Amino acid sequence: MPTDLKSALDALDAHEPLSLLGLRETQWLDAKGGPYQLANPRSVEELAKDVAAFANGGGGLIVIGIATRLEHDEEVLDHIVEVDPAAVNLDQVRKLIRQWITPAPRGVRVGWSGGDGERVAFIDIPAQAVDTLFVVPAPVGKPGSPRTDTVAVPMRDGDSTHWLPRTEIQQLLSAGVRASGMPTAQALTELVRQAVSEAGPDGGLRVGQGLPDREREMRAAYEQLAEAGLGQPAGEAWAQGAAALQDLHHERDGEPGWVLCLRAGRPPVAIAAPVWQAIVEAGRHAPGQDPLAAIGLPRPPEDMDTPWVIAAGSRSVDVDGGSWGAGRLTCSGHGVWRWRPLPRFSINQGRSAENWTAGQTPALRLRAVVNLPWAEASTLEINKSRRTQLEQQLPHSAVAGAVTILSRRRGAELPAARWERGPFANSGRSAGYTCTIAGPDGTPAVTASVMFALPTTMESTVVACADVLIENPEAWAVALRPGWDTQLGLDEVQAVLLAAWETAAELLPDVVGDPASLKWAAPPTTELRMTCEQPADNGVLPDLDSLVDLASLGTNDGGTRSRMAVTITAAPAMGRAERQSLLREALVHMAREFGYVDTEVDLL
């Protein structure tokens, strides 16, 4: 169990909020059973009060989503009340902190911790400069902007927060007067003149205010983008990783505002508020992460080296720099924004790579596994009508056609037409079907299988899979016309993997409704695999090239292989030509990673 602020933050960063249970609320820890209701003015005032109190008290931590129990007149963190990410707008929390607390506390971090069933939000307020007093407007419980003519000072005292009494505020002000003298009318006039000069023509905040080290840079960028009509600052600038950002009003009333964004090595960009909100919303479901830390920030076009503008009417914006990697947001004709990753390849395999293989030992498995990390997937289900529809579609699916063609190319008509449930479980959370082509004696020769599963306690993402198994080459040879070779050509492997990928990515997800309406909680991936799984008499797995003709890949500098695999990070839905092109690029990447260093796309 954590014993201090640092160890508590370490536990949250490790996504272990359960380890906080049993702690007592203290000078540095406050627990909230539910989120701040930011539509309620009193809750906004409470948020500002709580954060400012910790800023005045040496730093602290607010955990949202842990209920407490009273024990010996102390509040003890008792159990997690999971927070729905849709109920907490972390970006809004950050903005309100900057807007309502003067000066805005530095380094405040707002984020998520934990996974499904134990997710909490937290606000980390680090220790501030010892000579700084943080104040908020006096609470009134009414909607509107923060008042500029009142001051209240919240203080943390043990496990509670209280307001500094008026007499103590007066004593602090008197101490300041004694130290520097009562300001004269002339001095006040000069201070006002200086403040107005620094703040700008409307006497408000300065561009770059809040990030003194980058203020000059932000003002220069603002001047370069002035033609866009950015207006004046709507709040202090803040840091997002290495980037500097600031909200700006639009110079015309009623128009949406802007966000000024500076990233090292990139030209500055002004992002219209509706587009900025779409970026934040796209990353909002990343578990345990700030949305922008997940999705990243706008990336300029390749040939752009001058300040640029993303207008409110923009329909596409590229982003990178977040944990999700490079991606693109596009806006539909109905005004709906959706993020998709820009394609990339690796040979890293996920937890689901070998799902649904227990008890199977085919000679060769060609597999496509599509990982679909949809947000709020726990609410999905497979109903009877959609299951029936899938059963009707499977005989006409891409993977069924690919299996049929394998035999047809060898002179036999062995269609993959009869699909049966199993061998894996079917329920409201999973679906599995198999089509087996047997030899004359009933021995399974070639099998096609599809599986689809919604999240479980062991697997947090939706998984769709399509397999083609060469169960028994000898049985298949008997079922074919005499003299046909059962070794697959590389072109056949490509055709099967393409069909398996298309089936897993396009057909199976429809069993839960409209996949296009679902948001991502992480980047979707597809794993393509070809594996030999049936050991020889000596217990050793055969080489892939004994079952697949890999000669066109060239010489293998890494020795023989019984398996090869590649992972594609890309949106699951795409046109067939795009999928075919991406498949070829992925297979080249895989071949090179597994020792076929001279492989080129035109060899496939």
Residue pLDDT, tens place only, 264-318: 999 999 999 999 999 999 998 888 778 899 999 999 988 888 999 999 999 999 9
pLDDT for 41-51, tens place per residue? Answer: 899 999 999 99
DSSP states of 68-114 as a string?
A: EEEETTEEEEEEE-PPPGGG--HHHHHHHHHHHSBSPPTT-EEEEES
Mean pLDDT of the region 121-145: 86
- Cα separation of 228 and 307, whole Å? 11
pLDDT surpassing 60 at residue 1? yes
pLDDT at residue 555, rounded to an integer: 86
For residue 255, give every residue at least 6 positions away whose Cβ sits within 8 Å of its Cβ, in sequence order, or none.
Answer: none
Contact 366/357 with Cβ under 8 angstroms? no
> What is the token pair recorded at 92?
């809004």
Nearest to 570 by CA among 512, 483, 504, 510: 504
pLDDT for 362-408, tens place per residue? Answer: 999 999 999 999 988 888 999 999 999 999 999 999 999 999 999 99
- Cα separation of 256 and 65, whole Å? 33
259-289 burial: b if 16+ Cβ within 10 Å, else e: bbbbbeebebbbbbbbbbebbbbbbbbbbbb
Per-residue pLDDT band at 203 (split at 50, 70, 90): very low
For residue 269, give every residue at least 6 positions away whose Cβ sits within 8 Å of its Cβ, in sequence order, or none.
Answer: 260, 261, 298, 300, 307, 308, 309, 310
* Highest mean pLDDT out of 150-159, 198-207, 250-259, 425-434: 425-434
**Residue, of 324 and 146, whose pLDDT is higher:** 324
pLDDT at residue 586, rounded to an integer: 97
Q: What percent of the chain has pLDDT over 90?
A: 61
pLDDT surpassing 70 at residue 184? no
Nearest to 526 by CA among 315, 353, 268, 269: 353
Residue 571, classed as helix, strand or coil, is coil
> What is the token pair recorded at 137?
């407007």
Q: pTM for the complete prediction?
A: 0.73
Residue whose structure tokens are 């990070």: 569
- Cα separation of 527 and 542, whole Å? 22
pLDDT at residue 498, rounded to an integer: 98
Mean pLDDT of the region 333-361: 92
The structural domains of the chain, with segments of one domain joined by +, span 5-180, 185-342, 345-597
pLDDT surpassing 50 at residue 194? no
pLDDT, mean over the chain? 89
Least confident segment among 139-148, 282-291, 336-345, 551-560 = 139-148
Q: Is the peptide bond before 423 cis (omega within 30 degrees of 0)?
A: yes
pLDDT at residue 462, rounded to an integer: 95
Identify each DSSP E strand in 222-336 by its residue range. 238-240, 243-248, 258-262, 269-272, 297-298, 308-310, 316-320, 327-331
Residue 330, classed as helix, strand or coil, is strand
Return the C-alpha torsion angle 10, 13, 17, 18, nearest 10.
Answer: -60
- Sign, Cα dihedral of 502, 503, 508, 510: positive
- Sign, Cα dihedral of 236, 238, 243, 245: negative
pLDDT surpassing 50 at residue 195? no
- Cα separation of 468 and 504, whole Å? 12
**CA 549 and chain centroid, separation:** 40
> What is the token pair recorded at 598?
């001279």
Any alpha helices (H) in 409-558, and if so which ranges?
Answer: 473-479, 490-502
CA distance readout (Å), 4 to 9, 20, 111, 121:
9, 11, 19, 18
Topology given in CATH for the domain delimited by 5-180? 3.30.950
pLDDT at residue 481, rounded to an integer: 80
Residue whose structure tokens are 């050793």: 540
- Cα separation of 587 and 574, whole Å? 18
Q: What percent of the chain has pLDDT over 70?
A: 93
